[in-house]
Amino acid sequence: MDKIIVDLGSRSYPIYFGYDNLGDLGRVSKELDIGDEIIIVTNPTVGKHFLHTVQAGLKDAGFSVSPIEIPDGEEYKSLSQVSILYDKLLSLKTDRKSALVALGGGVVGDITGFVAATFMRGIPFIQVPTTLLAQVDSSVGGKTGVNHPKGKNLIGAFYQPKLVLIDINTLTRLERPELISGFAEVIKYGIIRDPELFQNLGDNLEKILGLDRESVLTVVKRCCSIKARVVEEDEKESGMRAILNFGHTVGHAIEALSGYKTYKHGEAVAMGMVAATNLSVKMGICNEDVLYRIKTLIRRAGLPTELPDYSKYEYQRVMALDKKMGNNKIKFVVTEDVGNVRFTYLSVEEISNQLT
């Protein structure tokens, strides 16, 4: 397997990349300072395809393995589901050397990481992301958390995994809308940091979304490499790591206003990226052709570009709870060009007035 290292000193960890490599999790986990008990957290959709392979590989490596299933869906990324997981871990007599494995997409990864961060004040966990969105974004960097009815990811912790194992083959089981949703985060990396990646996405869109093995592996590795370098520079988002939130201020507002049911995360982020770029044009920060290029690629990928018809007051109410809020202003990511973004500080009124 190929790998890159997220260099965080004593909290450093590898990201492994491959194809049909889920069975190798046991072997690479043996290199970690963890106990012999592993609890796999997954959902029924993912579990029916991949749980047996992961479980068998871990058992072959000498681990005792127990699976736990949680419901599938963003609406279950909640404190009530966290409490259920605590109860199940206690019934399994889980101790501080036991490790959790998050086998699934962003919801499974986020909630498992948060449980790992808080159960017995912290136990090891491993990320095995099975969606494109999780592979390129949420599994790397140590952001864990759950939603609150008033906002997305308002309850959480920075807590790094012990390793991340990415098997590109898992993407073949995704339904097309899920794959396209994840592609929004791929586009984000091109916009914020890598114009060559952005160009590659446009030139090879059909191959990537058609899951050509080498094309997808190249894109996933590049996105993870970008995120690893950003996280190394700013692990806890005190500065430049916030560029990873491009499109997310408005995107998270859309998700919250729709009750986390109407739009997939990537769809909301896609609309948020267009909104942020449009606002950048209106502020004189970037040119119209930048907006055109971004909107064109997002549309070609099958993602939405037009905002839902919420009032500016509804956007204001939700964005007022944004985690990036300070001194009544949001640290908002604006676009200067493809591959170049920066921050500005805007009130929720200034943002919402440009949305409606």
Q: Whole-angstrom Cα distance, residue 215 to residue 276?
A: 28
Catalytic entry in 43, 147, 200, 245: 245
Task: List the structure tokens of 112.
Answer: 């498992």
What number of other Cβ atoms are within 10 A of residue 170's Cβ? 25
Residue 227 appears among annotated catalytic residues: yes
φ, ψ at 288 (rounded to 5°): -60, -30
Question: What 3-state DSSP class applies to 355?
Answer: coil
Residue 173 appears among annotated catalytic residues: no
CB neighbour class for 191 (10 Å; exposed up to 12, middle 13-18, buried from 19): buried
Q: Whole-angstrom Cα distance, residue 291 to residue 280?
A: 9
Q: Whole-angstrom Cα distance, residue 257 to residue 85?
A: 27
User: Which of these, 95, 102, 138, lies nearest to 231 by C-alpha position?
Assistant: 138
Catalytic entry in 221, 252, 264, 323: 252
150 in Cβ contact with 256 (< 8 Å): yes
Question: What 3-state DSSP class applies to 30?
Answer: coil
Residue 52 appears among annotated catalytic residues: no
Q: Whole-angstrom Cα distance, residue 326 to residue 330?
A: 6
Catalytic entry in 77, 162, 222, 265: 265
Question: What 3-state DSSP class applies to 296?
Answer: helix
Residue 252 appears among annotated catalytic residues: yes
Residue 312 appears among annotated catalytic residues: no
**Stated length of the chain:** 356
What number of other Cβ atoms are within 10 A of residue 220's Cβ? 22
Residue 287 appears among annotated catalytic residues: no
Residue 206 appears among annotated catalytic residues: no
Catalytic entry in 69, 74, 178, 237: 237
The rounded Cα 185 to chain-centroid distance in angstroms is 8
Catalytic entry in 77, 143, 295, 331: 143
Catalytic entry in 121, 175, 176, 327: 121
Catalytic entry in 188, 193, 241, 295: 241
Task: List the structure tokens of 87.
Answer: 């109860």
Catalytic entry in 152, 162, 193, 227: 227
Beta strands in 108-184 (DSSP E): 125-129, 143-148, 151-158, 164-167
Catalytic entry in 152, 221, 248, 331: 248
Residue 324 appears among annotated catalytic residues: no
Q: Whole-angstrom Cα distance, residue 103 to residue 254?
A: 27
Catalytic entry in 74, 178, 185, 255: 185
Active site residues: 121, 143, 185, 227, 237, 241, 245, 248, 252, 265
